[in-house]
């Protein structure tokens, strides 16, 4: 599943026609994470290491990907499934969804989901989830920063597609530059972050789509992107 | 406008009489950021670089300034205007205010506003704003950490001045020491942060206003600050 | 008080029988921080330095401790008392509780409480508390990430014990590994964080309780922990 997700995310990643990716699931569970049958002592530590390396690569791929990646969640997202939601750039969920890191119940602490969760929500929220394994509701997830938006189930696809279509209407090269810049500056000290992004702004203006956008705005017409 | 703001913020910055700064605007827009006519290819990359360097310097000046700086927002704050709100120490807004980073609509991603925004709100909130350009309400901004307080429009000045007057009644030198210490320790690891602030606490006690405050408390009287 | 707290927290810290610690108080004040009589110029800077060094050590000890530490708050928590709440892994409070860092009122800025507060809540919330000294309610504290849960006063002990008992029912060695891993990865860059936690996951699976938990889940029975 992780390799299939990785290959799907990478599919035509560099194509000008790809503007945004939506990750969703069928059925009442968004994702419940790893298949525990792959994690017994029969496979051994080398296989386990490969499983978690692949999982980490998929999560980092989402941040390093040139287009925004949206999680559309309708149901339960647990363990690495909760990590997947936390790793996406944007996450929209139906109000019946819930989120948990329950590994501790089966003696396998959700340490790597904690990487994404700990960067999305306050640590007191993350640690209560990690130490008790108990779920939080979509509303709590929104309140604490794990989600970008919560909607009734019947509006989930419409609202998610509204965001996706908005992104798809923009200049791909500008969105891509902005995404890379955001994640690059975030862990830096303030001076370095401003140094990096000031350069990004100048580079952005010099792009054909940067000039086209500004000209169109001044001329009060719609921009025509070359991407 | 940026140079005028910079010079206003620096005006008598070292004077004992300056205790707090409030940044506000007239009319329905707090600030909509850069003048796009300064960012066309007619000025060229060197001029653009100077614009963003000046902008970054103003934003960093706010954090490095000896007194607290409060944004009082009544209306729309977008792009570098939203960055200005996010960069202030405290932000109070009327409930009709809204906040957006809409640069992506005109092909100029709000990369440098993302520095301040990404340090104020959860990244899922920041990225939805940056990727879609759509505004959030004052209530959402409060919920996610971009604002310190939201009040009805008719109470905005009163509530902001209440905070400003409270700060102005305190010891300037103590507030100044505390502000510098807060921003210095925040990006450090926990051990370094505690090492730095333990020293700040000892230095603070040794100040005349540190001793006066403690003595006044023990003697159950009002402190008289020498600043 | 700090030395007594330190010694209590360290008491049988390595015992297999210790699974979780709850810090609570009697009376209407959870903790109002330092005794100001210890901070006058009569004791001198060396004594002050020792006080803050001890305080910082207690706060760091909470994070470095092998079992989860829960603050159960019923009343006022101010200055180093607010820092203590912010430093615990989980914090549950009654709805009548409130939280403040009022040192600035007596000329002693809450710089070291700001270390814990600044890592628990958004900086605009932290700075308003630090600059004005004014309290926030339990609901505001929950909203901004300082608390994990807020309940009516009469349910405080029951709800806190529910969380504590849940943690006590889990494998101590797994919880301990997970806690250490969470705090270790949090300040790292994403790649390092995933590198560290992928190794933690593999180590966790290799533990007897890791294998027991996974086997019990597959066999649809309750796990029996060896801790």
Residues C183 and C154 in one domain: no
Residue A51: pLDDT over 90: yes
Residues A203 and A160 in one domain: no
Tell me what the mean pLDDT of segment A52-76 comes to: 98
Identify each DSSP E strand in chain B by its residue range: 21-23, 29-31, 69-73, 76-78, 90-94, 98-100, 136-137, 149-151
**Confidence band (pLDDT; 50, 70, 90) for B221?**
very high
Give, in order, the Cα–Cα distances in Å from A100 to each of A80, A88, A129, A139, C26: 10, 16, 6, 13, 34
Q: Are the C-beta atoms of residues B106 and B76 closer than 8 Å to each other?
A: no
Which of C135, C153, C168 delimits the end of a domain? C168
- Residues in chain B within 8 Å Cβ distance of C124: 89-91, 120, 145-148
Separation of alpha carbons A131 and A119, rounded Å: 17
How many Å lie between the alpha carbon of A174 and the closest alpha carbon of chain C? 24
- pLDDT tens profile B174-204: 999 999 999 999 999 999 999 999 999 999 9
- Helices A44-64 and A2-10 pack at an angle, to 10 degrees, of 30
Check residue A40 and give its pLDDT: 87
Residues C189 and C203 in one domain: yes
Residues B10 and B84 in one domain: yes
Instruction: For residue B39, give the chain A residue with the closest CA.
Output: A205
Give yes or no for C119 touching A (CB within 8 A): yes
Strands B76-78 and B98-100: parallel
Check residue B107 and give its pLDDT: 97
Picking from A38, A113, A99, the residue whose alpha carbon sits closest to that of residue C205 is A38
CA atoms within 13 A on the CB side of C42: 6
Tell me what the mean pLDDT of segment C216-221 comes to: 94
Check residue B42 and give its pLDDT: 86
Residue C41: pLDDT over 90: no
Chain C residues 204-223 within an 8 A CB cutoff of chain B? none
- Residues in chain C within 8 Å Cβ distance of B218: 36-37, 40
Structural domain contains residue C39: yes
Tell me what the mean pLDDT of segment C46-58 comes to: 96
Check residue B131 and give its pLDDT: 98
Domain encompassing residue A107: 2-168
Residue B156: pLDDT over 90: yes
Residues A188 and A89 in one domain: no
Residues C93 and C189 in one domain: no
Structural domain contains residue C180: yes
Residue C167: pLDDT over 90: yes
Subunit contact A190:B45, Cβ cutoff 8 A: no
Between B60, B108, B133, which is nearest A191 by CB? B60
Residues C108 and C210 in one domain: no
Subunit contact B131:A215, Cβ cutoff 8 A: no
Polymer length of chain C: 227
Give the three-class secondary structure for B77.
strand
Give the number of other CB atoms < 10 A from CB of residue A44. 12
Residues C94 and C139 in one domain: yes
Check residue B41 and give its pLDDT: 82
- What's A93's domain CATH number? 3.90.226.10
Chain C residues 130-189 within an 8 A CB cutoff of chain A? 143-149, 163, 166-167, 170-171, 174-175, 177-179, 181-182, 185-186, 189
- pLDDT tens profile B22-52: 999 999 999 999 999 899 888 889 999 999 9
Subunit contact B182:C122, Cβ cutoff 8 A: no
Instruction: For residue C187, give the chain B residue with the closest CA.
Output: B189
Subunit contact A52:C202, Cβ cutoff 8 A: yes
Residue B172: pLDDT over 90: yes
Check residue B227 and give its pLDDT: 85
Separation of alpha carbons B82 and B104, rounded Å: 14
Give yes or no for A53 touching C (CB within 8 A): yes
Q: Is C151 left (phi over 0), alpha (psi -120 to 50) or beta?
A: beta
Query: What stretch of H or E contains B159?
Result: helix B156-168
Chains that touch A (3 or more CB pairs under 8 A): B, C
Q: How many B×C Cβ pairs under 8 Å?
A: 155
Subunit contact C201:A48, Cβ cutoff 8 A: yes
Q: How many structural domains does chain B have?
A: 2
Check residue C227 and give its pLDDT: 85
Separation of alpha carbons A142 and A162, rounded Å: 18
Residues B116 and B145 in one domain: yes
Check residue A22 and give its pLDDT: 98
How many Å lie between the alpha carbon of A40 and the closest alpha carbon of chain B? 35
Residues C119 and C191 in one domain: no
- pLDDT tens profile C58-116: 999 999 999 999 999 999 999 999 999 999 999 999 999 999 999 999 999 999 999 99
Check residue C43 and give its pLDDT: 87
Between B166, B182, B190, which is nearest C63 by CB? B190
- What's B208's domain CATH number? 1.10.12
Structural domain contains residue B225: no
- Residues in chain A within 8 Å Cβ distance of B130: 178, 182
Chain C residues 5-34 within an 8 A CB cutoff of chain A? none
Structural domain contains residue C226: no
Residue A42: pLDDT over 90: no
Polymer length of chain A: 227
Residue A224: pLDDT over 90: yes
Residue C42: pLDDT over 90: no
Residues C151 and C213 in one domain: no
Q: Are the C-beta atoms of residues A82 and A134 closer than 8 Å to each other?
A: no
- Helices B45-64 and B80-87 pack at an angle, to 10 degrees, of 20
Q: What is the mean pLDDT of chain B?
A: 96
Subunit contact C107:B145, Cβ cutoff 8 A: no
Q: Of A114-118, B208-212, C37-41, where does mean pLDDT reach its minimum? A: C37-41
Which of C144, C168, C192 delimits the end of a domain? C168
Between C39, C53, C59, which is nearest B214 by CB? C39
Check residue B40 and give its pLDDT: 87
Structural domain contains residue A33: yes
Subunit contact B89:C127, Cβ cutoff 8 A: yes
- Residues in chain B within 8 Å Cβ distance of C89: none
Give yes or no for C79 touching B (CB within 8 A): no
Structural domain contains residue C73: yes
- pLDDT tens profile A147-194: 999 999 999 999 999 999 999 999 999 999 999 999 999 999 999 999
Tell me what the mean pLDDT of segment A55-67 comes to: 97
Strands A136-137 and A90-94: unpaired
Residues A122 and A190 in one domain: no
Which of A168, A183, A205 delimits the end of a domain? A168
Separation of alpha carbons A14 and B37, rounded Å: 33
How many Å lie between the alpha carbon of B180 and the closest alpha carbon of chain C? 10
Structural domain contains residue B223: no
Structural domain contains residue B104: yes
Between C112, C133, C134, which is nearest B197 by CB? C112
């Amino acid at each position: 599943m992780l390799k299939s997700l990785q290959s799907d995310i990478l599919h035509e990643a560099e194509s000008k026609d790809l503007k945004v990716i939506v990750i969703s699931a069928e059925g009442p569970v968004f994702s419940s994470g790893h298949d525990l049958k792959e994690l017994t002592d029969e496979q051994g530590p080398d296989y386990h290491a490969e499983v978690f390396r692949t999982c980490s690569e998929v999560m980092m791929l989402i941040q390093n990907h040139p287009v925004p990646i949206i999680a559309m969640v309708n149901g339960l997202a647990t363990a690495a499934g909760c990590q997947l939601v936390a790793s996406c750039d944007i996450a929209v969920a139906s109000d019946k969804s819930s989120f948990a890191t329950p590994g501790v119940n089966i003696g396998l602490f959700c340490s790597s989901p904690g990487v994404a969760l700990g960067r999305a929500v306050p640590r007191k929220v993350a640690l209560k989830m990690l130490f008790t394994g108990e779920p939080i509701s979509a509303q709590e997830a929104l309140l604490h920063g794990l989600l970008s938006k919560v909607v009734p189930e019947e509006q989930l696809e419409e609202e998610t597609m509204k965001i996706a279509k908005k992104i798809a209407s923009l200049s791909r090269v500008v969105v891509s530059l902005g995404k890379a810049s955001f994640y690059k500056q975030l862990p830096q000290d303030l001076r370095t972050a401003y140094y990096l992004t000031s350069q990004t702004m100048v580079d952005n203006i010099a792009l054909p789509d940067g000039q086209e956008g500004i000209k169109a705005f001044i001329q009060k017409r719609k921009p025509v992107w070359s991407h």
